[in-house]
Structure 1
Amino acid sequence: MSKDFNQRALEYHEQQPAGKLAIHITKPTATQDDLSLAYSPGVAAPVRAIAEDPELAYRYTGKGNLVAVITDGTAVLGLGNVGALASKPVMEGKGVLFKAFANIDVFDIEVDAAQPEDFINTVARIAGGFGGINLEDIAAPHCFEIERRLSERLDIPVFHDDQHGTAIITAAGLVNALEIQGKKLSEAKIVCVGAGAAGIASMQLLVRLGAAKKNLFMVDRKGVIHSQRDDLNEYKQIFAVDTDARSLADACAGADVFIGLSGPDLLTAEMLRSMAPKPIVFALSNPDPEIRPELAHATRDDLIMATGRSDYPNQVNNVLGFPFIFRGALDVRARTINDEMLVAAVHALAGLAREPVPQVVLDAYGLETLEFGPNYILPTPFDPRLIDTVPQAISQAARDSGVARL
């Protein structure tokens, strides 16, 4: 980023009031009677009711529309382990997106916890006041254990967006790209560079959708994750394949799909040329992708290309997912966000991109036309249909799978 942009960002955040979130009052407070109802003695009535029936917290408090965005600051954007406090601007930003896109209230909580056990216990002890927990910017592999244990321990949705948000949007785009390219997910050879939270979750979801595990080639800093390696953690071990391929270049040969969740300029023109006809390239490292779209298109004229950037077509953007997923989960008071709900989100997003694009979206992007095809495989974040389509799919999946209270 340029110095000018960085300065603008600092000035944006320091404008009074500092930060990006504030709390507003939802009930009248103009009279003494109002204050008596809002606090003492009026609060005694809902307190007694909730003490007898905890479910009444959804009726008498803001719990049902309140999500905690919580981090330990160990994997913040591309900045790494900057610590809990330094992550606060990101957590506030996440709260802005929750509110702007799905009208969900957020408290951002930054937990200074060196060990996963401390973090888990802290979150579990404060979770009762919230309708859902959005885990954010927690480094792998601890993030997997943290999410699993909190999901088992709590009866509200726990969702690590860096894992599942990325996985859902990637999968939705890939479903459509494969359709356009005339390929089947069950037969596609898929290379994924990056075996952290997003990479592993994305591959898990693709398997759930029908990808063959033997066709998934994950690549970390040491090369292809293959069955002969003895340095794999339990999460990488799941995706160890029996292959002679050792390098990224080896894996790319004949591949139908490349998914980059790692770092800039890792996919070379030579590797791209070695891929199968009609390849699909999701270079999602941000702001600098694994291969520049200009180079990719100059190398292959038969590919579909997606990035994490807003200045190119086919942006894979998590804001298409998490606000609407939580909206659907909160609307039915779901006890968890399960695999069925993740799959429902994929199909809802993929299906929406195949529908005619509303004029309001064309106006927002200054376009005359936009239709399903190589340069439009995902809805845009400003598509007004998202708030109806995705939450409904999530709510229905929650009901069908038996995790909805309503």
Structure 2
Amino acid sequence: MSEPPSRSEQRQAALAYHEFPRPGKLAVTATKPCATAADLTLAYSPGVAEPVREIARDPNAAYRYTNKGNLVAVISDGSAILGLGNLGPLASKPVMEGKAVLFKRFADIDVYDIEVAASSPQHFIETVAAIAPTFGGINLEDIAAPHCFEIEKALTERLDIPVFHDDQHGTAVIICAGLINALKVQGKVLESARIVCLGAGAAGLASMNLLLSMGARAENILLVDSKGVIHSGRTDLNPYKQPFARETDRRTLAEAMVGADVFVGVSGPNLVTPEMVRSMAPRPVVFALANPDPEIRPEAAHAVRDDLVMATGRSDYPNQVNNVLGFPFIFRGALDARAKRITPPMLIAAVHALAELAQEPVPPEVLAAYGLTALSFGRDYILPKPFDPRLIERVPPAVAAAAPCEG
């Protein structure tokens, strides 16, 4: 067996991938012929004047005569880049290009990546609002909390196209789909599950809010931030954390996890000890999603619990919670429905479509893509694989069917 590549080798491979044979991961390709003088008269002047006049008469004609209906902006200020932090808008460009590649590969959606040097949330909001007519949807990416909440809310209210913050709602959809199935495997139900969430930023708050929309009980959720349990006696909570303040005498993560059915970590590495996992209820569910290093390694968790369902954000362990299962297909459904916004029922429809797909037999082409001989719903398979061709068949129609009718 060959040795895995070293960290230095991985770094060089990643840099070479992005530099050669031409820099970056994206290019613009013409979709109409442009080989003759006649083609040019249609593509530009004078032929282009005809769709211009039609769109001036009826703005909806832009969906007929331009790429607006299949074009999404992936936009960031670079304030929360993956696990790297606030490195600025220019440094976020490789990530935004990568997101564009995933949109195209999995849902055939075209993307312009846009990196904004914004001095304030309001500056960012005004910038995005000003360029919004170009697009059929807006995907906000890698924007730090709590500004991301203000930005997403303001743009959703102002624009007549879907606005989606993947770090909030995309992550929430995949967490909820995986959690429904993990609880099913463990013989438990969401309505009675005791849940601890470590991390009160975009992903944690959105995930817990979506779980509440799906039937989780508020009194069964304990949210933990860097200062401990979010309880009713704290006076340092922003408006987004305040609804999760509970009447409880638990103050630390260790205290919160005693008797818990579910742990969801969207925080940082190595914050959960084996003793904390040991203290959880029988047949627990642990989602340790910090990347690249989870809150607790699966090996450490399994060493103290043999009745565990475990998920991480990594591809080298079973049950990867991967946003690529969500955002391309959610946007595909929203664009197909010509939705003006992405609503909680649309997100919940995506959750159920993903959860139900994982319960079905796995087709041979998926096994082949991952070098597997067998895979079935259970402790090590609670979410579909990203290369499952059924995702594009199931998730977008479910999302589109749940979209509000807006005549």
Query: Does residue 244 of structure 1 match 2:249?
Result: yes
Q: TM-score, normalised by structure 2?
A: 0.98
Counterpart position of 2:282: 277
Question: Which amino acid in the other structure matches residue 369 of structure 1?
Answer: A
Q: Cα distance, 1:301 vs. partner?
A: 0.1
Structure-to-structure mapping, 1:36-51, within 5 angstroms: 36-51=41-56
Tell me what 2:169 maps to: 164
The question of 1:402 aligning with 2:392 is answered: no
3-state SS of 1:186 partner = helix
Following TM superposition, by how much is the alpha carbon of 1:402 offset from its aligned partner in structure 2, in angstroms?
Answer: 2.2
Letter of the 1:78 counterpart: G
How well do the aligned residues superpose, as a CA RMSD in angstroms? Answer: 0.8
Alignment pair present for 1:293 and 2:298? yes
Amino acid at match of 2:99: K
Instruction: Give, in whole Å, the separation in 1 of the partners of 2:317 and 2:231.
Output: 34
Once residues 57 and 21 of structure 2 are traced to their aligned partners in structure 1, the CA distance between those partners, rounded to angstroms, is: 43
Deviation string for 1:275-298 (max 9, x for gaps)? 000000000001100110011111
Residue from 184, 190, 193 that aligns with 1:185: 190
Q: Give 1:16 shift.
A: 2.8
Question: Displacement, 1:306?
Answer: 0.3
- Paired with 2:357 and 2:215, the residues of 1 have a C-alpha distance of 20
Q: Provide the rounded CA distance (Å) in 1 between the counterparts of 2:352 and 2:267.
A: 26
1:365 aligns with 2:380: no
1:11 offset after TM fit, Å? 1.1
Corresponding residue of 2:68? 63
Counterpart-to-counterpart distance in 2, 1:395 and 1:77:
29
Q: Does 1:322 align with 2:301?
A: no
Q: Which amino acid aligns with 1:290?
A: E
Identical aligned residues as a percent: 70
Q: Distance in 2 between matches of 1:349 and 1:114?
A: 38
In structure 2, what is the Cα distance between the partners aligned to 1:368 and 1:86? 40
Distance in 2, matches of 1:6 and 1:231, equals 41
Q: Note the residue ranges of structure 1 that are not aligned, 5 or more in a row.
A: none
Residue 155 of structure 2 corresponds to residue 150 of structure 1: yes
1:135 aligns with 2:140: yes
* Aligned equivalent of 2:40: 35
CA distance in 2, matches of 1:137, 1:353: 28
- Residue deviations 1:21-53 (CA, integer Å, cap 9, x gap): 000000011110000100011100000000010
Aligned counterpart, 1:339: 344
Distance 1:275 1:7 in 2: 42
Cα distance in 2 between the residues matched to 1:16 and 1:132:
31
Residues 1:211 and 2:216 are matched in the alignment: yes
Partner of 1:229: 234
In 1: Cα distance, 2:85 partner to 2:110 partner: 27
Aligned to 2:3: none
What is the DSSP-based 3-state SS (H/G/I as helix, E as strand, rest coil) of the residue aligned with 1:366? coil
Q: 1:23 aligns with which of 22, 25, 28?
A: 28
Separation in 1, partners of 2:219, 2:151 = 28
Mean Cα deviation higher: 191-200 or 177-186: 177-186
TM-score (normalised: structure 1): 0.98
Report the secondary structure of 1:191's partner residue. Answer: strand
Q: CA separation in 2, counterparts of 1:215 and 1:241? A: 9
CA distance in 2, matches of 1:78, 1:352: 30
1:120 aligns to 2:125 (yes or no): yes
**Correspondences of 1:72-83 after superposition (within 5 Å):** 72-83=77-88
Output one character per residue of 1:104-133: Cα deviation in whole Å (capped at 9) or x when no partner: 000000000020000000000100110000
Tell me if 1:385 matches 2:356: no
Amino acid at match of 2:117: D
Report the 3-state secondary structure (helix = DSSP H, G, I; strand = E; otherwise coil) of the residue aligned with 2:263: strand
Alignment match, 1:194: 199
Q: Name the CA distance, whole Å, in 1 between partners of 2:257 and 2:47.
A: 66
Deviates more, 1:162-171 or 1:2-11: 2-11
1:352-393 per-position Cα deviation (integer Å, ceiling 9, x unaligned): 001110000011111111111011000000100000100000
State the aligned residue count. Answer: 402
SS of alignment partner, residue 218 of structure 1: strand
**Can you list the C-alpha shifts for 1:330-356, whole angstroms capped at 9, x where unaligned?**
111111000010000000000000111
SS at match of 1:28: coil
Which aligned segments of 4 or more residues in structure 1 are displaced greater than 3 angstroms? Answer: none
Q: Distance in 1 between matches of 2:259 and 2:235?
A: 27
Partner amino acid for 1:336? Answer: R
d(CA) in 2 for partners of 1:177 and 1:77?
A: 26
* Alignment gaps of 5+ in structure 2: 1-5
Tell me the distance in 1 between the aligned counterparts of 2:119 and 2:275.
43
- Name 1:2's counterpart in structure 2: 7
Amino acid at match of 2:245: A
Residue aligned with 2:75, SS: strand
d(CA) in 2 for partners of 1:368 and 1:84? 43
Q: Which residue does 1:348 correspond to in 2?
A: 353
SS in 2 for 1:238: helix
Question: Which residue is 1:220 aligned to?
Answer: 225
State how far apart, in whole Å, the 2-side matches of 1:154 and 1:356 are.
41
Query: Partners in 2 of 1:173 and 1:9 — Cα distance?
Result: 30
